[in-house]
Structure 1
Amino acid sequence: MNLSHLTSAIASLDLRSCLISRDGRMVFEHYRNSSITAETAKVNSCTKSVLSALICIAMDRGLLPEPHTPAAEFFPKLLTDPDPRKRDITLEHLLTMTAGLEWTEFGGIKSFPRMTRSEDWVDFVLSQPMAESPGRKMEYNSGVSQLLSAILARSCGMPTARFAELELFGPLGIEQYEWESDPQGIHTGGYGLKLRPGDLLSFGQLYLHRGRFGERQLISERQALRSVQPAIAASPPNRGCYAWHWWTDTFAEQGDEPAGGTFDYYYARGYGGQFVYVVPELRIVVVLTDDKRKRDRIPMHVFREIVAPALAARTD
């Protein structure tokens, strides 16, 4: 690992924040200004990975059944749908976005905006026609995240955010947050959470340590590892694979010289430059956040093009 040139490179991008920790110790810390450390901001679809953690905790507590459980156990409407394939959708299909529902997040049929304009988001998602048999193809779908939040709230007997306070945020020391809800009061499963950069770092460290934070095992090691294992190839133009509401990929240095390092990683990803990367082999967590308007964003993959090469670089 060689971070000597990272300061100037990151500063030139004008990111909101860039944090890198190794073995729980901060080795790189950049904020656009000092006030950002205390300010919550939208993490957008990183919310999905937080929801994944809550689902894992609920499974560990026996509040949710095993991943192969049919979603119809929570939504009987699926049993009466004319398309029998809906009866085969499981919790794991929802977690891996392989439910098979006809969905285009943005563009095309604009499923996500249509959902947020509907009176009942859960009913909107359940009413979508099938495009594939469950398990065959990953299709990015914030609607299935909303189904998971509804399932979690119903199974735990409390709002998703309250369960997070008790079982995840509290133990991680997360005291400030905001979380949006749908018209029925169900917290948004696919986006809508606001956190501080340091909170995202703590969340990443929880996974680096296989569900353990400090002296507490918040997520069983079995569930923590299972949830970040590649489950299916990511749908184009995305690269890598998709796990339980986490993305996974591999970095390999390019060039004439032998590679200084190749490593696997998994990450939470939110629109507009919000990321939490976990690199188990290097014992590293990286948080990147941004808040620029679309026209002002850097047209590059900051982690793969700037941060990962520095992590993989040899110092000898």
Structure 2
Amino acid sequence: MSDPESAIPGALTPLPEILLEPLLRAALHEDLGPSGDVTSRLVIPPETNARAAIRAREEGVLSGMQLAEMAFRLIDPSLRVTTRLGDGARCASGDVALEVEGRALSILMAERVALNFAGRLSGIATQTAAYVAETRGTHARITCTRKTTPGLRVVEKAAVRHGGGYSHRFGLGDAVLIKDNHIAAAGGIRPVLEAVKRGVSHMVAVEIEVDTLAQLDEVLAIGGANAILLDNMSTEDMARAVEMVAGRVVLEASGNMRLERVAEVAATGVDYISAGALTHSARTLDLGLDF
């Protein structure tokens, strides 16, 4: 069995349950519907007790275990739930992540919701850990984006942290991020940066997206940005951008950040590598519940 203490560095402390309970209640309402678990109610006597375990069926990094535990407790507070491998822990095939004991009907009612959250979020954590591994020997950090499942951003971004990654802005209100469409609509790089300088709070970070080294040069000349996003640049141009910036602002590489490309991008010296694939393209980790 994997060591329960072998958590990914930087993994989050548990999220406040008040943020998670509405997500779980919505999922349980969806699954149970107006009739509840018809099958289990018909075939299992209500007094039947059971013991079950969520096991990993492949290697990975776990996330969503807090949600899984809460799902069982919401269905039946009398269930005894023990988490053996928590969020951020590495698991091997066959490892027990969680054990639950009590009424069999209650365990079965919560099973699918618990596994759906844990499998999905563990897939994100596992994919993030693979990206992070490609940055070894550099100072680059892997970060996620807003390309998350609607309504599940808080837990999907937590899963990225469980995998050793970091979060970009959580939402539109966190920071100023000037993208190509802002530049096009406002009439150019100078107008958007000057508008931001006039209106932004000193407490708000400012990042601007550039597509070319010429645009980068223009941004550096005007000033006003704390970070610059290098969008869909070649690796060679990113290396040149690092030289041009010379540590004056934070550089983020984005666009077409496939896993097999991460190591060469990190080696350019950029500070962050953002990848929507961490959340929108992660494969669900295979977890199962066995009685």
TM over 0.5: no
**TM interval, short-chain normalised:** under 0.3
TM-score normalized by the length of structure 2 = 0.22
